[in-house]
Amino acid sequence: MAAPRARTIMFGAMGALVLAFLIFAFRPEPLHVDAGKIERGPIQISITDDGRTRVKELYVVSAPIAGRVLRLDPEVGDRVVAGETLLATMVPSGPAFLDERRQKEAEAAVEAARAALELAQASVAKAEAEVDYARAEIKRTESLVASNTASPAALDRAQLAFRTAAAQLDTAKSSVRMRRADVAVAEAALIGPDRANGTSGGVVQIRAPISGAVLTLNHESEGVVAVGTPLLELGDPQDIEIVADFLSHQAVKVMPGARVMVEGWGGEPLSGHVRLVEPKGFTKFSALGIEEQRVNIIIDFDDASREQLQQLGHGFRVEPRIILWEGQDVLQVPTSALFRKGENWAVFRIVDETALLTEVQVGRMNDRVAELVEGLNEGASVILHPSDVLEDGMTVRIRVE
C-alpha cells in the first residue's frame, strides 16, 4: 500500500508543478507604457512662421534724366552721408547712328538751309540799298522844300518811304539770323556717335539723399539709361524690422504690442514686439499648391545690440514666435497623453500599475502641454502616447529609460 500512495503523491506534485507553470506562462503580461506627470509650471501659447528682416526706410535712387550714367564708384556696404557722398554721374548720351537714307536727307536739309541763308542775305543787301536810296531822297526833298519847289507833303512821303525801307532791312536781318539757326540745326542732324564725345553738354551729379549704407547696386556699369531707371538702394542697416506673413486665422488673434521671440536667425533668441498687423491680406500658394490667405505682421526689435543687427542685415530669414498668452503657475498635462472620447478629452491615469480611463477638461494648449482645468490633481501619473490596445483597467508597467 505504501508504493501506490507514494506514486499518487509524486504524480500529484508533478501535476501541481505543471499547473503552476501553465498559469505562470499564460498569465497576461503587463503593457509597457511611457508615463508623464501632472504638474504646475509656465506655459505659453504662441504661433510661429517664417519672416525676413528689412530696412524700415529703403531709398531707391533712380536716374533723374535719360542719358549715359558713368560707372558707379560706391560698393555694397559703403557708408554714405546725406548731401555729400557722390553716388553717380550722368552725362548726355550720344546721338543715334544715321543710315544711308537719313544721311542723304540730313545733307539735303543742310544744303536747303544754306540756300535759304543766301537768299536772306540777298534780301538784306536789297533792303540796305532801299534804305540808302530813301535817305538820299529825304535830303533832296528837304532841299526842294527849303526852296519852295516841293510841298511839305512830299517830304513826309520821303520820310515814310525811309522808315518803311528801314523796317524791311530789320526784317531781312532777322531772317538772316533765323536762316543761320536753321543751318546750325541741319548741320547738327549730321552729327553721329563718331563725332560726339557725349560730355560737351551738362553733367548731372547724383548725391546721397540720406545717411546710411549702400544695400544694392542695380546698375553698376556705365551705360545709357532711361529716366526713372533704378541705380542703387540705400538704407540704414541698423534700423531694421521684421515682416512675417501669417495665416489670416492666426493673425486675427495677434494684437499690437504682443511679445515676440525672434528665433532661427543663427544666434540666441532676440526679443521684440508686434508693431502692426496690416489691415489687408493677400493670397499665397503654399509649397503644396494650396491657396492660403495670409496677412503681413510687422515686428520691431526690443533689445537687439548693434552687433546683432549688423549680423542680421537686410533681407535675412528669421522665425518670429508671437506669444498670444502665457501663464507662470499653471496646472498642465502633456498633450501627448490626451485623446478624444466622444466630444470630451480623456487620459489614462496610472493607479497601482492599473490604467484608469479619466475624462478631463482642458483650456489653452500648445504643442507640448495643455492647461488642465478639471479632472486630475497635481502629481498624478498619466500614460503618454496611449496605444489602441490599451483599455480601462488594464495592468501596465512604466517603461524605465
Of all residues in the chain, the percent with pLDDT exceeding 90 is 31
Q: Is the pLDDT confidence value at 97 over 60?
A: yes
Q: What is the DSSP string of 288-344?
A: TS-EEEEEEEEEEESS--HHHHHHH-SS-EEEEEEEEEEEEEEEEEEGGG-EEETTE
Residue 16 lies in a domain: no
Report the run of H or E that residue 184 belongs to, with start and end: helix 152-188
Q: Are residues 189 and 104 in the same domain?
A: yes
* Closest to 371 (Cα-Cα) out of 340, 327, 336, 341: 327
Q: Which tens digit of pLDDT belongs to each residue from 115-163?
A: 888 888 888 888 888 888 888 888 888 888 788 777 888 878 888 888 8
Last residue of a domain, one of 282, 306, 327: 327
pTM of the model: 0.63
Q: Where does the pLDDT of residue 6 fall: very low under 50, low under 70, confident under 90, or very high at 90 and above?
A: low
Q: Are residues 341 and 214 in the same domain?
A: no
Check which CATH number belongs to the domain holding 222 and give it: 2.40.50.100
Query: Which structural domain, as residue segments, surrounds residue 68?
Result: 58-94+206-234
Number of domains in the chain: 4
Same domain? For 186 and 229 the reply is no
Q: Tell me the residue ranges of DSSP E strands in 211-306.
A: 212-217, 223-225, 230-235, 240-247, 259-263, 270-285, 291-301
Of 327, 355, 387, the position where a domain reaches its end is: 327
Residue 1 belongs to some domain of the structure = no
Q: Is residue 4 included in any domain, yes or no?
A: no
Q: Give residue-wise pLDDT tens across range 320-351.
A: 999 999 888 899 999 999 999 888 999 999 88
